[in-house]
Amino acid sequence: MTSFKDARNLLLESYNDGIIDDDEFILLYEGNFSKNPEFPYEDYERFDLNAMDETECKAEFRFTKSEIPRLAEALDIPGTFFCHQGTTAPGIEGLCLVLRRLTYPCRYSDLIPRFGRPVPELSMIYNIVLDYIYNTHGHRISQWNHTILDPVSLERYAEAVYDKGAALDNCIGFIDGTVRPICRPGELQRVVYNGHKRVHALKFQSFTLPNGMIANMYGPLGKSMVHNRPQ
């Protein structure tokens, strides 16, 4: 896919060769600028996990270099991710992009020095990988997960909570909610406006086990859906 920069360079060559006149050059050249900032991603190397220092890896991804391939195997990450417009990304790079994006709030432009890709590619790869992980493993927190919610595990959770001084001996986890702010939508703003937080947001409710694992995630819900939910 030809970039705006390549198109402008081609127009310059065509103008110098006399293929297009002054008016055509001005019209076409001004029409080949992106509305988004153009970052010099070509100045950076493509992502290479092996070239990273162990400390950098842990700080940026919250996993060590040896743990990331194991995580990719556990998540059944494919060897390559394919975007609809032809962009491809190795599975490990795609996973690391998601980890880096979720480690700490950042803009896509902040990721250019690490991954050496333009912002549109970073955005597409991130969404492709995130959708893949959710579609493949989302049922583990949206449905009853027998792997961590079997009778033996439930009894162990209750014992762990009780041993910490809880008054009940049958408490297996903890329920909590979270409000995730979103941009103001063009329609149905009242549905997602949160008066308490004074932001437009979606609400989620999670059930967390004593070992820190999220056993269930319910949502997203808007304000009116929460208030109208049957008790």
Q: Where are the chain's structural domains?
A: 41-137, 141-227
Mean pLDDT within 10-38 = 80
Residue 231: which pLDDT band, with cuts at 50, 70 and 90? very low
Residues 190 and 181 sit within 8 Å (Cβ to Cβ): no
Q: Global pTM?
A: 0.73
pLDDT digits (tens, 9 = 90+) for 52-104: 999 999 999 999 999 999 999 999 999 999 999 899 999 999 999 999 999 88
pLDDT of residue 1: 54
